[in-house]
């Protein structure tokens, strides 16, 4: 059931982690073959950050993103009951304008090709990788790579992480 890198989740047909279940690693673009299409009422995220979709092939996102934890009732966390057809693990990073995770912040899922509209272009001084591995670029549209790749963890000072301060214009998970 794997389409992309990420984590592990167990979905259940009934509330409170009851009924038929399915363990998914990384992603599932179509729950129909598993018999769990439009059947999910609860879930447990073992690892990663997950996004749910009402239609197959990651169409029509619903809810928000869900990290590790137990979710005994999808309706209580903003998901429609028995209306999920695909799901995948996503990569997330929180970037900050100032050192030590201070100042204006922005949560980015999977990629940002141009930080100019966010107000944080050439303004990033610290970051937290929530999930995935990330690469930074000095220019928009992923031009001029800088630093190395960065995995989960806190980076309170981009300079100490090998990145130039206030010179990041795009970033993406790899």
pLDDT computed for residue 118 by the predictor: 97
> Is the pLDDT reported for residue 116 higher than 90?
yes
- For 117, phi then psi, to 5°, come to -65, -20
> Is the pLDDT reported for residue 3 higher than 60?
no
pLDDT computed for residue 145 by the predictor: 98
For the entire predicted model, the pTM comes to 0.77
Note the pLDDT tens digit of each residue in 117-151.
Answer: 999 999 999 999 998 899 999 999 999 999 999 99
pLDDT computed for residue 1 by the predictor: 35
Tokens 């100019």 found at: 116
pLDDT computed for residue 6 by the predictor: 63
Cβ-count burial of 69 within 10 angstroms (0-12 exposed, 13-18 middle, 19+ buried)?
exposed
Whether the Cβ atoms of residue 172 and residue 142 lie closer than 8 Å to each other: yes
CA 135/CA 66 separation, integer angstroms = 23
Note the pLDDT tens digit of each residue in 12-70.
Answer: 999 999 999 999 999 999 999 999 999 999 999 998 899 999 999 999 999 999 999 99
**Structure confidence at residue 2 as a pLDDT band (50, 70, 90):** very low
CA 123/CA 106 separation, integer angstroms = 11
CA 145/CA 54 separation, integer angstroms = 36
Q: Domains (ranges, CATH) in the chain?
A: 8-90 (2.60.20.10), 92-173 (2.60.20.10)
Report the pLDDT averaged over residues 100-125.
97
Percentage of the chain modeled with pLDDT above 90: 94
């Amino acid at each position: 059931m794997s389409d992309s890198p990420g984590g592990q989740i167990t979905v259940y047909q009934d509330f409170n982690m009851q009924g038929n279940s399915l363990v998914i690693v990384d992603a599932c673009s179509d729950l129909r073959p598993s018999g769990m299409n439009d059947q999910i009422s609860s879930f447990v995220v073992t690892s990663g950050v997950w996004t749910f979709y009402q239609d197959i092939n990651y169409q029509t996102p619903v809810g928000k993103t869900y990290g590790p934890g137990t979710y005994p009732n999808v309706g209580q966390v903003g998901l429609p009951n028995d209306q999920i057809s695909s799901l995948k693990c996503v990569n997330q990073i929180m970037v900050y304008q100032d050192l030590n995770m201070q100042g204006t912040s922005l949560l980015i899922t999977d990629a940002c090709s141009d930080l100019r509209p966010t107000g944080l272009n050439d303004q990033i001084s610290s970051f937290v990788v929530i999930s995935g591995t990330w690469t930074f670029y000095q220019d928009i549209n992923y031009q001029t790579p800088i630093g190395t790749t960065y995995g989960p963890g806190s980076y309170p000072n981009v300079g100490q992480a090998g990145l130039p301060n206030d010179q990041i214009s795009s970033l993406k998970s790899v």
